[in-house]
Every structure is written in structure tokens, then in C-alpha cells.
Structure 1
Amino acid sequence: MRSWILGAALALGALPVAAETVGKVGVDWVGNDIVIEAIEDPKVAGVTCHVAYFDRSLFDRISNGNWFEDPSNASIACRQTGPISLGAIAKGPKGETVFSESRSLIFKSLKVTRIFDEAHQTLIYLTHATEVTQGSAKMSISTVPLYGAK
């Protein structure tokens, strides 16, 4: 029984972090908003990313008929917010997911992926949507230079 609990705790610890909503700006009279969330990188102390995305209102969902889906548009900005200390990060060209949030009932997610550019000592943060059947070309990147971080 204990090994199951330990395994579940380790698996949950490996999940991407949650975001904290830090701002919400109304963009029209039907209640659509731009939401801004702060995401602290769980494996790189001292780096915080802010992601902005469009959040559809209930009225917009009902009137347009595509109830379960939000647009894939998102923007990201990442900055050093304290002393940077690299943890055990993925160093391959595919990087690793830092954050993932569902953007439809089942098939679409908004993700933040971190890629380590070792040659230039820079962390690249990419926000993008993933879908089961169709990828999206909508993306945004931000970089954080390491300047001799640990």
C-alpha cells in the first residue's frame, strides 16, 4: 500500500505546475477576457513566465455554437525574478513541458515548453497549442539568458 502512495506522490510531483491568475482584462461587451497568468518554472529557481491568452465568455460560447473550445492564441514573457539555479532540466532539443492547461473539452491544450540552448546559455520558453488531429502554427517565445547561473 505504501509503495502505491509513494508512486502516486512521485507521479503527481512530476506534473507541470499550476498557474496563478495575476490579471484579467475585458475586451468586449459580451464578457470575453484576456487572462494573464504567472508560472514559476519548477526546475529553474528564479524564473517566472507570464502567459496571456483569450478566455471566451459564456455568452460568446452560446452565440457561436462552438461551446467547448477556446482560441489557440497566447503570448509569453519570461524573466529572471530571483537568483537563477538550474535543477535537473531536460537538455535535449525537444525540451520539456513546464505548464499545460486544457483549452477544450478533450483535445486541445495550451502548453509552455522549456528548451535549453546550451551553446548560448539561454533558456527558451515556447507557448503553443497541441491538438490531437491538427497542430496550430500560433506560438510565442521568450528567452532568459543565464549569465553564469548555477
Structure 2
Amino acid sequence: MPAALALTLLGTPALAEEVGSFSNDWTGNGVVIEAFPDPEVEGVTCHVAHFSRSLIDRVTKGNWFEDPSNASIACRQTGPLVIGDIETDEEGEEIFSEGKSLVFKSLAVRRIWDDANKTLVYVVYTKQVTDGSAKIAISTVSTFNQEVRRKP
């Protein structure tokens, strides 16, 4: 991970662990799969897949310091659910952020509580200083009819 990217991770609410990666073309561009636990909901792990540009791609196409906005997310219950102090308003809260350019773009995950359906909704999206991206994906974890504890 480049030093600039590592510096952007220092203030993030949750840190991801790379669990897999593979090259998807001859230039070395790839897909990286990272896992991170929800910092306020024990028993939920999210996996995010995102694009990673190779050195060859950066040299031939320019735009050295930026990766594409494409990403996908899947969140699942991976243990007993214990919910901490989560935001329950309609905006939810950002639980993960990772830099995708030197300064101006980051990949983020936001958790939203759907009280009517007793479901945690996770949205992966790209934040940019001037333009947001319409490239989003969601995943849900239902708490319906489950024993859910609250953190003290």
C-alpha cells in the first residue's frame, strides 16, 4: 500500500484486512477483497471488492494517484449480534473509509438502521471533493427474529 494511501487510513473508523486479490488483465490491474468487522455491531463482517490499478496502467494512461470508483460489498452475520451505540437516523453513519486517490477521493461504507424491517443496511460508495459517484452497492443483515444483545 503506498504511503499516501496508508496515511489516509489513520483516521478511519474501521481498518480492513486484505483477504484476497487477483489480476484481471495482462497489465496487472487487479481486484482486491478486504474484510472488516462493523466497529459497533459485533457479529457482522463486511467484504468489499474494489479495483486496484497496476503500475503499467498508471504509466500508460496517466492519472498516477487515483484508482477507479468501482466497488462491491457483501455483509453477513459471522457471530452473535451485539449492537453498540449506532446512529439510527436516516443518514446512518460512516463506518469505513479508504483513500482511492492521493487527496480527493475515498471509498466509504455507511451503515443505516432500517427500524421498520429490523435490518442493518450497508452502502459502499465513493466520496469525492467535487463530484460524488453514482457507483454504489448495498448489502443487508437482518436482525428480525434473532436474539440481539446491546453493548452496555
TM-score (norm 2): 0.88
Kept in 1: contact 2:45–2:77 (CA 8 A): yes
Are 1:141 and 2:125 matched, yes or no? no
Equivalent residue for 1:65?
62
Q: Counterpart of 2:54 in structure 1: which amino acid? A: S
The one of 12, 27, 37 aligned to 1:40: 37
Query: Whole-Å Cα distance in 2 between the matches of residues 33 and 65 of structure 1?
Result: 17
Query: Whole-Å Cα distance in 2 between the matches of residues 141 and 102 of structure 1?
Result: 20
Equivalent residue for 2:102?
105
Query: Whole-Å Cα distance in 2 between the matches of residues 55 and 107 of structure 1?
Result: 16
Equivalent residue for 1:95?
92
Unaligned 5+ runs, structure 1: 1-11
Larger % of helix: which?
A: 1
Which of these two proteins has the greater Rg computed from alpha carbons?
1
RMSD across aligned positions (CA): 1.2
1:25 Cα deviation after fit: 1.2
Spell out structure 1 runs of 4+ moving beyond 4 A: none
Provide the identity percentage: 58
1:17 Cα deviation after fit: 0.8
Equivalent residue for 1:3?
none
Unaligned 5+ runs, structure 2: 1-9
Aligned residues: 138
